[in-house]
């Protein structure tokens, strides 16, 4: 487990709670040009981002295993996931493993080498890699469009009068 130093926390954007963690992790993935479904974490307690160094951390209550159905891969996320990010790339990734045949392999890099190709590459320390369609890791954001950052439901104004009926 990697402990995030107080020095890093002091200069970072930090968010607490699952709802805010979900929103901010998806926003970060979009900001760096990666699919928003790469980090399907649950019960996020804390997330942080040091823009100066690109260091990111996400802490969830317990480890989870997620199956990406479109590519048929099982991925395990530890209680603490850390990485260094830049546009189109997640480097120095910790806390994420993928099941390949009967073996769990630790992922250390995810990159989008050529965004126009529609392909994303996952790498492990041994040099092995696999490439998949970006679309397999995208999730629809129907709910996020109707809420603001604080989770409040946005009110959409309609043209014309609105009638109110008491019951």
Residue 115 has a pLDDT of: 84
Closest CA to 134 of 33, 4, 25: 33
* CB-count exposure of residue 45 (10 Å: 0-12, 13-18, 19+): middle
Residue 158 has a pLDDT of: 44
Residue 156 has pLDDT above 50, yes or no: no
For the chain, what are the domain ranges?
Answer: 6-136
Q: What is the pLDDT of residues 52-88, one digit of tens each?
A: 999 999 999 999 999 999 999 999 999 999 999 999 9
Residue 150 has a pLDDT of: 52
Average pLDDT over residues 96-113: 95
Q: What is the pLDDT of residues 1-60, one digit of tens each?
A: 567 888 888 899 999 999 999 999 999 999 999 999 999 999 999 999 999 999 999 999
* CB-count exposure of residue 133 (10 Å: 0-12, 13-18, 19+): middle
Fold for 6-136, please state it: at5g01610, DUF538 DOMAIN (2.30.240)
Q: Give pTM, 2 decimals.
A: 0.81
Average pLDDT over residues 88-101: 96
Helices (H), the chain: 6-10, 18-31
Residue 105 has pLDDT above 80, yes or no: yes
């Amino acid at each position: 487990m990697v402990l995030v130093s107080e020095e890093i926390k002091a200069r970072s954007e930090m968010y607490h709670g699952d709802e805010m963690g979900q929103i901010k992790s998806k926003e970060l993935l979009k900001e760096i040009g990666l699919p928003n479904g790469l980090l399907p974490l649950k019960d996020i307690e804390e997330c942080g981002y040091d823009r100066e160094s690109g260091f990111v951390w996400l802490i969830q209550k317990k480890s989870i295993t997620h199956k990406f159905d479109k590519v048929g891969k099982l991925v395990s996320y530890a209680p603490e996931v850390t990485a260094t990010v830049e546009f189109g790339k997640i480097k120095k990734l910790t806390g994420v493993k993928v099941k390949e045949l009967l073996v769990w392999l630790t992922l250390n890099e995810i990159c989008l080498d050529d965004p126009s190709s529609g392909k994303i590459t996952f790498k492990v320390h041994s040099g092995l890699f696999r490439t998949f369609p970006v679309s397999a890791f995208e999730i629809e954001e129907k709910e996020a469009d109707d809420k603001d950052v604080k989770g409040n439901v946005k009110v959409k104004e309609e043209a014309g009068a609105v009638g109110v009926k008491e019951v």
